[in-house]
Every structure is written in C-alpha cells, then in structure tokens.
Chains A and B, each alone.
Chain A
Amino acid sequence: MPPEMLLLAALDGLAYGSLIFLVAVGLSLIFGVLGVLNVAHGSFYAIGAYVAAAGVLALTGMGLPPWLAFPFFIVAAVLVGVIVGGLVETLLLRRIYGKEEVLQLLVTFAVFMILEDAQKVVFGVQPYFANAPMNWLGTIEVFGIFYTQYQLILIPTVALLVLVGLRLFLRRTAFGRAIVAVTQDRDAATAMGIDATRVYLITFIIGASLAALGGALSSATTSLTPGIGSGMIVLSFAVAATAGLGRIEGAAVAALLIGLGRSVAVYFAPEFDVLIPYLIMVAVLLIKPEGLFTTVQTRKV
C-alpha cells in the first residue's frame, strides 16, 4: 500500500472521529460532574440530528440560502440540550442523585427507551436526510480523490473549537471552575458555597447540547433512521472509557484513535472494522484500568 493511501485513510477517519468526539465529550463531562453514566446520551444525538434535518429541510423548502443551516445547527443543539436535557435532569435525575448507581443508570436507560419511541412518533420511520449544507460547501481534491469540505474541514474544525472552548470555559471562567471543583470533591465544593444543583443542571445541558450538536452536524452526511442513537451510545462509551471518564482532551485523542483505527481497518482488514472501537477499549482498560488519561486516585476507605 502506497504511503499516500495511509494519509487518505487518516483523512477519512478524521471526520468520523470528530463526530464521535463531540458526542463522547458530552458523555464524559456529565459523568465527571454528576457521576451518572447517561445511556440516553445517544438519544440526544439522534434528536439533535432529526431536529437539525427537519429545520434544514424547512429552510431550503422556503427557498432560504443553505448557509443558514450552520447557525441553525447551533440553535438546534442548544434547544435540544435545554429542553430535552433540562427536562430529564430536573424531572428525573435530580430526584435520584443520592440513590445507588445502578438506579441512576437505569433511569437513563428508561429515558433512552422512551425517547427512542418518541423519535419514531414525531419524525416517522422513513430515512430522513438534509444534505444541502454538505453540497453547499463543495468538494476538495486530495491526491486525485474528491472529499467533501464539510467532512474534511468543517466537522474537524467544529470539534477542535469545542475542545479549545471547553478547556477555556473550565479553566478561565468562574462557573467553569465551579464545575471542576464539584468534579474533584463534591462535598468540599458545596461547603465552599458552590450551588451544586445549578452546576449539575448546566453541566447536563452542556453535555446534552454537545451530543445534539454532533447529531446536527451528522444530519447533512448521513440518513437518519430509527436506532441511530443506540449505535452511537456504545461508541461514545468506548471513547469515554478509553480516555478515562471525565477527561476532555483524552476523549479527543481516543475518538481520533477509534476513527483512524476504523478507517485503516477498512483498508487492511475490512472484516474487523466494527471490532476496532471495542478492542481498543478492552485493551486500554486491561492495561490502564482507569483509562488512558487518568491519574490513579486513592481509594476512599
């Protein structure tokens, strides 16, 4: 295999890895702060995708220019995060933080089951797609092969912006620091006057919005069918666990690793492309139990 093919494979993995990153980083953030592994996260991704596609179809149907889709993606993501994510946190999760982990997990599992059907009722079962934004951006040629600018440039750029933005938000703003404080020691943070309830709610909304943003971005490249959420959730679990739960930069590296691993597999061993994410996850957890990017913490006695 010529070396430029390796580069091409890497380019393919980039867009895919970036999308997984957006979803996984939200999952990771929520786990880091709330301590809840959110199974319904895949549903936020799916709903974000459906809302975005419906909006773009409506926009282009009214004859408005396709570039309006890009600001609309952000609006859709925030809306889904605030409305769906906010409702799930305030109505359900908030009432159960003191309970056992398994119950928290199952609450999100129940939400997942309900939202899966809700999507079907609202958006129907026919594949849904809105590719106008992807076509509007056009293609770019690399070694004689056409790539869409949307996948090669836009999606990875958004992922990078989210990564940098999250870092700045968590380190430089007061609220971001409050989030970090809660992650490190919940009791101490509350004792110091941080409003944990508010931190939980806003973190959950941010996490859900990021998943919805990933969905919105994917709506231009892929057909939306019932069940897209359940495939995505396992992938983002794999990324989050590989990175170490709560690790933002780690999620970026792990997502990239899984994206690249998968596309290289399509070249060398197409039979094993679906196994790659899980194999990476199992391997990492076996060697570094707390994930690639976590420093070992002392166990509480």
Chain B
Amino acid sequence: MVRMKWAAALAAAAMLGAPALAQDKPKELVVGIATFLSGPASVFGVPGKNAADLLIEELNAKGGVLGVPVKPVYVDEGAGTNQLLSEYRRVAQEQGAQVMFGAISSGSCNALAPVAEDLKVVNVMWDCGTQTIFEEGKWKYSVRTQAHAGAEMMSTLLYLMKAKPDFKTIAVVNQDYAWGRESWALFQAGLKALKPDVKVVAELFPKFGAPDFSTEITRLSALRPDVVLSTSWGGDLDTFVQQAAARGLLKQSTFVLPLAESSLERLGNVLPEGVIIGGRGDHYWLHPKHKNSPEMLSFVKKYKDKTGVYPIYPTFHMAQAVIGLAKAYEKAGQATGGKWPSKEQVIAAFEGLEFKSLTGTISIRSDHQGLEDQLLGTTKRVPDYPFAVYDKMALYPGKLVTTPLGEKSLEWFAKVKPELVTDTSIETFDYAK
C-alpha cells in the first residue's frame, strides 16, 4: 500500500512539471465531482451522481469531449469541509483532474472557489445557489451553470404576488443554515418593496435535520397566517409537510415551497392541491415545453430505469454542468484549431457560452454566473400519477429575474417594481397530459 502511494506521488510530481499551454490530447479527461454521498443532503447528492454516471456514459458513447473520454471521480461532500478540501486537492493534483464539479452546498462552494483558483483547475459549481459567490468575489476558474438564489427567490415572490395578490400575513419556517437564512432575507427585502403592508407574524428557523415540528405547527395553527413560506428541502421538507398536513395546517394557509419539486414523488398524496411549488430553475421532467422532446424522453426513461424514480432538479443541474462542459471544450477546441485546449482556454470559452439544456437555454455571463429560466406552479392532483403535478405554471425568463450584472441581489430586491409581476415576457401554461 505504501509503495503504491509512493508511485502515485512520483507520477503526480512528474505531471505537475508539464507545461500548462495547449497540449496533446490526454488519454482521458478526469472530472472530479464533489457531491453528497453521505448525510441528509445525499437526497440531492446521490441523484446527482446517478445522473452524472448516466450522462457521462452517454457522452463517451458519442465520442466524449473532443474525442477524449470523460472519467468521473467522486468526492464525498458529506465528509466535512476540511476533508472535502483535501480530497478535492488530491483528485486535482494526484489524479490529474483538469475539471472539478464543486459542489452542492453553498458552504462547500465558498470554500472550494479559492482552492480552484490556486490549483488553476476549471471548477463548475454544479448545484450550489448562494448569490454572494460571484457578487462578492471574482473567480477566474469557477463558473456556475445554473441560476442563483436571487433568481429563485425573485420568481417565487413574483409568482406568489400573481397567484395570491391580497395576502396580509406571512410566516416563514426555514432550515437554520445559510440557505434558509439568505433565501428569507432576499424574499423579505422584495416583499417589503412590493407589498410593504404585509405583516410577518413568525420567523422560525428550526435546526437542520429536525425530526419534529410539532411546536412550530402549533404556533402556525394559532397564528393562522395567510401564507406560509418554507425553502426547506429533503427530509426536513417531507417531515414538515407531513406533520402539517396531518394537523390540517395545509388547508388553513397557502403554502409556498420553492424546493418542493424534489419531494413531489415521495410526498405522494400528502401534498394537497393549491400549494405553490418550484424547483430551483426551469427544470421539471413534465416541463410544459420540453416534456416530449426526444432528449427529455430518453433521459427520463433511462433515469427511471436505473433508479426507479423520476428525475429531480439536481439531476438536471448535473446535466447542465455536463452539457456545458462539453460545449465549452468544443468552443475552446474550435479556437485552438482542434488542439486540446488548456484549462485557461476552457474557462475563457465558458464566458458568453450559450447552450441548450434539457429544459431551456443556459447562458453564462461575463461574471461566470449562469442565466436560467425559472418555472413555478401550483399543485394539482391528476389521475395520471400517484403524486401531485405542476399546474398554472409560469415560466420566468432568466434575464428578467436574475440580479443585473454588477449589482448585489439584496439591494436589487429592495428596489424591485410591481410591474415585474405582470411582465409580458412571462409565459404561462396549464397542466396538460
């Protein structure tokens, strides 16, 4: 074992000596993927990994990236930040990964961005949502192939204003960590600008992974707010919805659950009609415009055959990262005349890149932030599926709801205008079989 380690070390040392400019094609393109393989967030991490396996296999069958097969190497984000950082480094330095996908948690993305800069490795932030990454920092080697929390919360707010314009009170029940706190801060800033007379009757931040929301539900039952917002996800969201449903709370207030797309199938018949839901982007396997496209039909079928469930938003985020990477290499390859591009050339190709995802078009801004449309809807029960589906859908163009280049989301939210609610570029759809 020790000898293997030495050999690997020597190989890595030799590799580091290689020049960084346009090179000969490598035998394979190693892509390190940081994702949650343990802990509660593996509800996103493992579907992400499954999707990556599937998509990369497909990509390789079509000749890989510029004729080079892609080889994924996984790193467990659930092992804690310190372990993640050293694993990330090992994959980049020892296993020679030219590209890293990192990561799901905003905390991990914040920690990994400076490391990617120092290692000079292309870092695709494939799922994390914090808007602060590119608003407060400039990262040459990192790029995000999906929207950020600003776009997600703005579209949620606009949808709520359209669907239930006359609400007077709101309560929030978010998980107690950065996402729960930041998403509420954004939403609240926008709400103040659009509807200053709304009263916030309770702000509850139960512990991440809390097994019991009885007390929170009792408080909400007593307060009877018109709207209950929760940006929770995974097991926390399932538990909260279940316990709230059992005690009749879902019928008392309008629930707004911007991440519920990822729980729809699991929640089955627990989720009633009339709940406002979203999925952190325009992805939905029954997307009104793309559900019958050959790519979507093939992806949904393959994913369902492999895992037994329908794909959820992290799998679409992964698809965007994989497709985006392939397109960036193609674009960079054209610039170098077919030669294998350097990492710097790949990252340059990302800037201004536009590519088709499974559910729309992604374009990468000059600050490396992706523009992605946002799809929200209201639950409806239909005989076709044993779980709720999207109805009364609204598709918000990425450009409309994403904080403009150079501005900070919190400030932009504070000056949002009511006209945005009825902007003509918003498309609407009803459920159709």
Contact = CB atoms under 8 A, between A and B. Distances in A.
5 contacts: A12-B218, A127-B235, A145-B218, A232-B211, A266-B216
Given A12-B214, A127-B238, A131-B242, A266 B204 contact: yes
Interface stretch (A26-34, A76-84, A91-99, A221-229): A221-229
Contact of A126 (B204, B216, B239, B266): B266
Contacts of A226: 38-40, 42
Given A127-B234, A146-B221, A226-B42, A270 B205 contact: yes
A126 B214 contact: no
A164 B263 CA distance: 40
A148 B212 CA distance: 13
Interface string B195-213: 0000000011111010110
B209 A231 contact: yes
A93 B239 CA distance: 35
A127 B214 contact: no
Interface in A144-172: 144-148, 150-151
A5 interface: yes
A184 B211 CA distance: 36
Given A11-B218, A120-B42, A232-B211, 16 more contacts: A12-B215, A127-B43, A129-B238, A129-B242, A129-B266, A134-B246, A145-B222, A146-B221, A148-B243, A223-B235, A225-B234, A227-B40, A263-B214, A263-B215, A266-B216, A270-B205
A139 B43 contact: no
A104 interface: no
A15 interface: yes
B46 interface: yes
A266 B45 CA distance: 31
A127 B238 CA distance: 8
B211 A228 contact: yes
B246 A8 contact: no
Contacts, number: 118
Nearest to B212: A16
A148 B239 CA distance: 14
Given A225-B43, A225-B234, A8 B209 contact: no
Interface in A245-276: 262-263, 266-267, 270-271, 273-274
B270 A131 contact: yes
Contacts of B270: 131
A218 interface: yes
B175 to A, nearest CB: 12
A213 to B, nearest CB: 16
B219 interface: yes
B247 interface: yes
Nearest to B38: A226
B67 interface: no
A48 to B, nearest CB: 14
A135 interface: yes
Nearest to A231: B209
Interface string B35-56: 0001110110110000000000
B212 A222 contact: yes
B338 interface: no
Given A120-B38, A145-B222, A266-B204, A223 B238 contact: yes
A221 B40 CA distance: 17
A53 B238 CA distance: 14
Given A125-B42, A151-B214, A139 B247 contact: yes
B63 interface: no
A232 B212 CA distance: 12
Contacts of B207: 273-274
From DSSP, what is the main secondary structure of chain B's interface residues?
helix
Given A12-B214, A224-B235, A225-B234, A135 B246 contact: yes
B183 to A, nearest CB: 18
Contact of B239 (A222, A227, A232): A222
Contacts of A266: 204, 206, 215-216, 219
Nearest to A235: B211
A139 B248 contact: yes
A141 B12 CA distance: 67
Closest 10 CB pairs of A and B: A225-B235, A125-B42, A127-B235, A223-B235, A223-B238, A266-B215, A263-B215, A12-B214, A12-B215, A222-B211
A146 B206 contact: no
Given A131-B242, A226-B42, A148 B205 contact: no
B429 to A, nearest CB: 29
A131 B246 contact: yes
Given A125-B46, A225-B234, A13 B246 contact: no
Interface string B244-261: 001111000000000000
